[in-house]
């Protein structure tokens, strides 16, 4: 799900080419080639976190003198299982983004804007919005409010989570503090998630989380997910459900999509036909274009 800052970045970047929603890492050379081809020349580069049900990734953009935002690539280091297995931080995609950004900034003699290089944060401002930002009072990370109610305590999500954790731990007994913690919420663990959840890094659990979450194995791809909502045993995961919907498109619907020349109109058609949001429709359209028969016009 996209929060306010990320959604505004898309809405306010009419010049930005549509980025394929894939988790393949864009190569350094591809990013440099796209940057070198821009007209007018870039006045800044930025790296911004984004995330979905698969995991975190970084969108790498260039801003040109006409204040258009141009997508240069996507960097990903893996799924969220890394968090539960203690593999992050450091985040390898952030280290890579920082290295590429610093190199580009030096080559073009411009700014590189990476407001959250140490951990994922969705509510950081883009380079164009940086003047509207405020700093987290705990870690000084730059943030952007999407509404007056957001960040009332002037704390980023990470610091607010740490603050809540301290308040909870103050009420625990010494035995609870030294014992196993729940894989989801870090509360004192009293039981275990089902064995099949271990592939996601889920082990010890508290009673609240075992009641709240359901462990589910997709009937189509065998992927294991932990969901807040009940999922029937024969229910596919979100990705497979979307793939089934794509496969269910009629030839006449596909013809309408393929014959539409405006890409934004194509995205709108895909979203309307499948009942999905704008970002999901971008990924679906990319998939449809890649699998389009050669004889389809």
C-alpha distances out from residue 279 to 54, 230, 239, 246, 268, Å = 14, 25, 14, 15, 10
Contact of 101 with 121, CB cutoff 8 Å: no
- Determine the Cα–Cα distance for residues 293 and 260; give it in Å rounded to an integer: 16
196-229 pLDDT, tens per residue? 888 777 889 998 888 888 888 888 888 887 777 6
- Determine the Cα–Cα distance for residues 7 and 11; give it in Å rounded to an integer: 6
- Determine the Cα–Cα distance for residues 156 and 179; give it in Å rounded to an integer: 28
- Determine the Cα–Cα distance for residues 210 and 204; give it in Å rounded to an integer: 10
C-alpha distances out from residue 141 to 46, 58, 214, Å = 15, 17, 34
Q: How far is CA 188 from the centre of its chain?
A: 29
Phi, psi of 136 (to 5 degrees): -60, 130
- Determine the Cα–Cα distance for residues 29 and 36; give it in Å rounded to an integer: 10
161-202 pLDDT, tens per residue? 889 888 988 999 999 989 999 988 888 999 988 888 887 778
- Determine the Cα–Cα distance for residues 233 and 261; give it in Å rounded to an integer: 41
User: What mean pLDDT, rounded, does the chain reach?
Assistant: 84
**pLDDT score recorded for residue 54:** 66
pTM > 0.85: yes or no: no
């Amino acid at each position: 799900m996209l929060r306010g800052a990320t959604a505004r970045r898309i809405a306010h970047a009419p010049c930005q080419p549509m980025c394929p929603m894939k988790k393949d890492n864009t190569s350094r050379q591809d990013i440099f080639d796209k940057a070198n081809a821009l007209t007018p020349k870039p006045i800044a580069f930025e790296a911004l976190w984004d995330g979905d049900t698969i995991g975190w990734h970084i969108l790498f953009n260039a801003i040109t003198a006409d204040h258009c935002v141009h997508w240069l690539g996507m960097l990903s280091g893996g799924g969220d299982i890394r968090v539960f297995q203690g593999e992050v931080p450091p985040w390898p995609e952030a280290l890579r983004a920082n290295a590429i950004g610093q190199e580009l900034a030096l080559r073009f003699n411009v700014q590189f804007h990476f407001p959250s290089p140490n951990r994922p944060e969705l509510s950081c401002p883009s380079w164009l919005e940086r003047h509207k930002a405020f700093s987290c009072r705990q870690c000084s990370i730059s943030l952007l409010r999407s509404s007056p109610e957001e960040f009332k305590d002037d704390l980023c999500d990470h610091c607010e989570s740490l603050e809540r954790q301290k308040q909870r731990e103050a009420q625990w007994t010494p035995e609870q503090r030294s014992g196993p913690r729940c894989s989801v919420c870090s509360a004192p663990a009293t039981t275990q998630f089902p064995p099949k959840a271990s592939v996601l890094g889920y082990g010890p659990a508290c009673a609240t989380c075992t009641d709240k979450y359901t462990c589910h194995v997709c009937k189509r791809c065998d992927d294991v997910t932990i969901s807040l909502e009940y999922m029937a045993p024969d229910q596919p995961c979100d990705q497979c459900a979307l793939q089934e919907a794509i496969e269910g498109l009629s030839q006449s619907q596909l013809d309408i999509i393929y014959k539409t020349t405006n890409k934004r109109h194509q995205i709108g058609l895909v979203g309307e036909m499948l009942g999905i949001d704008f970002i999901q429709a971008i990924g679906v359209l990319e998939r449809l274009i890649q699998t389009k028969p050669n004889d389809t016009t």
